[in-house]
Structures are given as C-alpha cells and as structure tokens.
Amino acid sequence: MDKWKTENIRNVAILGHGSCGKTTLVEALAYTAGVTERLGRVEEGNTISDYDKEEIKRLFSIHTSIVPIQWKSMKINLLDTPGYFDFAGEVEEAMYAADAAIIVVSGKSGVEVGTRKAWDLCERLAIPRMFFVTDMDDSQTDFGKIVRELTGLYGKKIAPFHLPIRENGEFTGFVNVVKRKGRTFIKNSEYKEREIPEEAEEELNQYRELLLEAVAETDEVLLEKYFNGEAFTQEEISHALRASVHENAIVPILMGSGVKVQGTTMLLQAIEKYFPKPEANPVIGIDQKKREEFIGDFDSEKPMTAQVFKTIADPFIGKFSLVKVYSGILKSDTSILNVSKGAEEKLSRLYVLRGKEQIQVDALEAGDIGAIAKMSSVVTGDSLAAKEAPVLYEPFTFSKPYTYVRYEAAKEGDDDKISQALQKLLEEDKTLKIEHDVSSHQTLLYGMGDQHIEVALSKLFNRYKVELNISKPRVPYRETIRKRVSVQGKYKKQSGGHGQYADVHMDFEPLNDLEQAYQFDECIFGGAVPKNYFPAVEKGVVESLAKGPLAGYPVVGIHATLTDGSYHPVDSSELAFKMAAIQAFRQGFMEASPVLLEPVVSLKVVVPDKFTGDVMGDLNKRRGKVLGISPVKNKQEITADIPLSEVFGYSVALRSMTGGYGEFSYEFARYEQASQEVQEKVVKESKEQHAV
C-alpha cells in the first residue's frame, strides 16, 4: 500500500447497535472501492473485519478491525467496532484513533440503545459524525420514521441528505436533498440521474426545509437570509454543510443497503467531502527533554511522535502494536523511544493491517494508522517518539469493569500457564482485570459483562489451551464483637521431658474502628507474665484474626488486653503463650456477641427518566438504601448504598430492566453489621462447607 499524505487520509469509526449491519457496510464499502472482488457475509464467516474464530463462531464483532480502502485520491481507514456493550473497550480504542464516525442504523430495527450510546460517545469526544440508515432494500424500512426519531432526540442538528425512491416496493434510487436531484441505481451503488418522482416532492420539501433550517442555524448571515426568504446558493449550502459537520453543528443522514451494496458510493463521497482531515484534531503532549508543550498537529515536517491505541496479542500471528502517527513520519528499520517506559525499541517491520491481512509498508505519514510487530516493552496507551523529541502523550482511559467471577485452574499445575495466558489477554483488552483478594483467598476476573467474560474464557481455551473453573465470588465478609469480655486461656501439655505451659487472662472489647484489625495492650503487674512472652501473646491474637470463629472470615475492630496470667520457669515457652492466647481469643470472641460485617458499596445508576421507578424498586429488593436522585444530561442518576453481595449479577438485571439504557458504577464505602437473616445464612453455609 502506498504512503499517503496527511491531507488525503480519513480515519473513520463505524459505530452502532449490535447486529445493525456495521460489518456488512464495511464489506460493501471495501467492495465498492475495489478492495475485494467478492462480497463477504457475516453468516458465512468470510468478511474482512470478523476474522477471529470467536467472531466467526458467534456471528458478531468482538474486536475493532481496521479496513483501509482507497477512494479516488483518498485513503480511508475504516475502524469496524463491536456493537455489543460488553466490548465497549474496543470501541473506545477505535475512537482514540478516529477523526470522525459513521453511526449505522438498521432500517428494520430503527433507533436502538446502541445508536444513542454511539451518539453519546461522539458527543463526549467531540467527534464529527453522520448516520447511515442501512437495510433500505427491506420493504418494511421506514426511513421517514427514523428521521423523525433522530430529529426528536437531537433536534435541528439532524439533516437528511437523501430521500428514498421506491418503485413497486423496491428500493431503486434516491433523491439528493442537497442538490435537489433524482438518482437511479444502475449497478450496485453506481447511479445515474433521473427525474424526481411527483410523489416524492412533498417529502423532499419537508427534508429540504429541515436541511436549510440546519444550514441557517450555522451562521448569522445565513439565518438572516433564511428569515428574509432568500434562497441559498449551492456553494453556500456546501460550504456551510462542510464547516458545520466539522463543528458537530450538523449531522447528515444518508442511506443504502449493505447487503445489496447500495448507497456506498454516496457514503464515500460524503466522507471525502464532509469529514475532517486528521489535522482537525491536534493532540497535546509534553516534550520530556525540553519540559515544554508539544502539539501533535499532524505536521510531517516535525519529529516523529505517535501513540499506541490498540494491542493485538495472538499466539498465531504474534504481537502487534497499532499506532496513530501524530507528527513526523514513522519509518521501518529505525530505532524509536517508548517514552512511557523510557525504553529504546528497534522497529524492523511496519505494517498496515486490513482485517487479518498484513501489508508491509516502508513508512506512515502523520495522521495515518499502522501496526508495529514485536515491540516487547510497548502496551496500549504508550507514547512512541524519535529520540530527539521524547514527547509523552496522556495515556488513554477506558471503561471500568464491574462484572466479576471467581476462577481457579481446572487442572492442577496449570497456574503458570493460566497466568501467562491471562497476561496476554490483559495486554489486548484494557477492560479485563484480574484481582487477587488475599483476605478471602480467591482470584477474580473482571469484565464488562457476562458475555465479555465468557469470550475471554473461550479465548483462553482455544488460543492457549488452558481452562478455568469459574464460580460465584465469595463475599469478603468480616467478623467483629459488640461487647467486652474477660476470659482465661490456659495451655498445658506434658509429653515426657519438658512440657508446655502458659496461662493468660485477657480482655476483649470493640475497638470502635473497623478500619483497624486490632489493637494489643498489656497491663501486667508483678511479673505474672514475663515481658519476653508479650510478643508471643500478640502473635496468637494476630493469627486468630485471619479466620474468625463465627464463619471463618477475617476479624476486625478488636481491642485485646493481656491483664494477668502465670508461667512455669521451665515449661513455659513462646509457643505455649501463643497457643494460650489463641484459646483465649476463640472463647472470648464467641462470648462477646460476635457479629458478621458485610461490605457496602456506594452505587450510582444512570438511566432515562422512565426507568427510575423500576430501578429504585429493584434496589429496595436488593436491600439497597436510595440516597438521592439528580438529573444528569437528560437522564437521572440514582445514588444508593447497597450490600456488595447484592451487586453480583446486577449488570444483567439492569440491562433487562432498561433495555440496555442503564449504566452503573460503584465503589467500596464501608462495612456494616449484617442482618440476623444474612448472618445465620452465612454461618450455616460456612458450617456446611467445613462439614464436607
């Protein structure tokens, strides 16, 4: 593939709800541009984008794939993203490399939750966008209804550029609303001019009025002209539309059929005409040598700087670091600096990826996207630069995973293999997380949802031949006491020769600080227990804290005081005093009104207003305490305190309640005394577990 100048590059993310036709559209665009001679189909597992075994098996995108195509004098890097919410990290990676986005809407399904989430993501990152309504070949598709829905959601920003023409129920062409011209498809997406059907005139006038209104809103001079009833020139319309799309003041709606390759030529023309060059989105970094700001403005004359936006770690094709060049020219067979790690790397081969195809290139100009093989120190988010300009860019942030499962090796001796395989997955997917919970003796795998975790497990098995057993996580309960007690612990053992003897009198009482495990004091008078045995007594207390007598959970908030005791000059030892303290602890703990503490998290749920009642009702059923509701960007944010045990499986429940519109996050707040019902259940389960 040729080296492309910055002004001729467009980086475009393809977004939308799951199964709305994104991959099919990318396939149609590649076919229209002459990249392929045969149209691949998702159902047949032969598309350019969905080449991974998991994607072929499941018939939907799991990873972001890059499909570069040439259209006229342009190189368009299409970033085909997953639509299912469990793979949001892949979408976020694509958006860090994209300069614009196409939000695909299925004409059959209409505006879905994924459509709105794609819009929200574009808004958050200030990315120019346009809608493409696909499935126009389906007679049930109602383009007007979709336009009305989008206009109702996003107002006068929405500007339909096309109006469908149907003859005998078939989608045969379109009216170009901008130029007020009729078009008829002659072969796939190719078209010729035709008369505008009479029956389309009324709808055309409506769309034309919407378009002109949107144009008028972009400029005071044009607005005045509009109110005075003066007509806009074609040049004024085109210029205003281009500037307004760049500024997110106007969002065009185009249409077609991915399956029948209709409308793709118009879409490519719109990308060329309306989408910005990379230089429209400069990136700010800090030159580590000069300690001053460096603007990555996609100037090829500047020193080379780039950033890794995605990592592919596959055992069959190897490791690839996908980069976007922010300035200068990235060349093969050079040494570059990983500024984030302070490590020099030898870059031997440079590639452009098209799906799984690896196309070797000599260089990438500023603004372009490519892949570097076998960069050992490099991970997603790292800044790469020429040594003379060590520019560090801000690392990327990704959605935090909240769904988790407990896992163990299915086969003994696989722990090292599993650890290495998981590390590869974590390199590739920034929304997977591993957590070793020492207090509850379990290892947890976090993901964006159940499907995300299921796919990760499948990859581990198919790619790396390791298998995990997963189970419901053990809730990290704690144990403490509610009253003060005084007890005696005596350890006496005689087995020939020297025996073992220790006697301790101890007070145990609440520390009134659950953040602290324990506090140990002594108030011994007259040498009843020699000072050299005090550490042994404390050690006995500390060892007892790890597994509480109530249900086997760690103990917190204990104040232990050694008040009296006795010893034997020959038979006493540190071991004996430690054992005596352990006995005293067990007895004292169970006499001091022991209670179970459960972790409580602060939960935030953001939902459209109409779901507020359902969500609050469900939180009450989960023993949650709703603390407040506040408006957040046309939605409601519900804040509640809820036991951690009730959060397990919440992502599935929330999606079911809200049709996927709800989002949640939480963080640990504190420990609270569990209800008697919960305590009895947990203690019973603990006894049953130990009885097995």
Tens of pLDDT along 87-126? 999 999 999 999 999 999 999 999 999 999 999 999 999 9
Residue-level pLDDT at 498: 74
Write the burial class of residue 170 (CB in 10 Å: 0-12 exposed, 13-18 middle, 19+ buried).
exposed
Residue 552: C-alpha distances to residues 51, 586, 680 (Å):
48, 12, 13
Helix (H) / strand (E) element for 349: namely none
Range scoring the smallest mean pLDDT among 214-228, 343-357, 501-515: 214-228
β-strands 350-354, 369-373 pairing? antiparallel
CATH topology of domain 6-276: Rossmann fold (3.40.50)
- Kindly state the percentage of the chain with pLDDT values over 90: 78
Q: Of 22-36, 204-218, 460-474, 619-633, which gets the smallest average pLDDT?
A: 204-218
Confidence of residue 440 (pLDDT cuts 50, 70, 90): confident
Contacts of residue 613, Cβ cutoff 8 Å, sequence gap at least 6: none
**pTM here?**
0.90
Task: Check for a shared fold between 403-471 and 598-678.
Answer: yes
For residue 208, is pLDDT > 90?
no
Q: Is the pLDDT of residue 411 over 70?
A: yes
Residue with tokens 């260089």: 363
Output the CA angle 67-69-70, nearest 5 degrees.
165
According to the model, what pLDDT value does residue 496 have?
Answer: 63
The pLDDT, as a whole number, for residue 335 is 93
Q: What is the DSSP string of 510-552?
A: E-S-TTS-EEEEE---TTSS-GGGHHHHHHHHHHHHTS-TTTS
Across the range 668-672, mean pLDDT stands at: 95
Provide the pLDDT for residue 601: 97
The two structure tokens encoding residue 343 = 């490590």
Report the CATH architecture of 282-393: Beta Barrel (2.40)
Fold of 403-471: Alpha-Beta Plaits (3.30.70)
Residues 255-296 have pLDDT tens digits of 999 999 999 999 999 999 999 999 999 999 999 999 999 999
SS3 579: helix
Q: Where are the domains of the chain?
A: 6-276, 282-393, 403-471, 478-592, 598-678
Note the pLDDT of residue 521: 96
598-678 under CATH 3.30.70.240, yes or no: yes
Per CATH, which fold does 478-592 belong to?
Ribosomal Protein S5; domain 2 (3.30.230)
Tokens of 648: 């397990």
CA dihedral 115, 120, 125, 130 (to 10 degrees): 40
DSSP state at residue 278: G
Q: If pLDDT is split at 50, 70 and 90, which confidence band does 1 have?
A: low
Question: Binning pLDDT at 50, 70 and 90, where does residue 2 land?
Answer: low
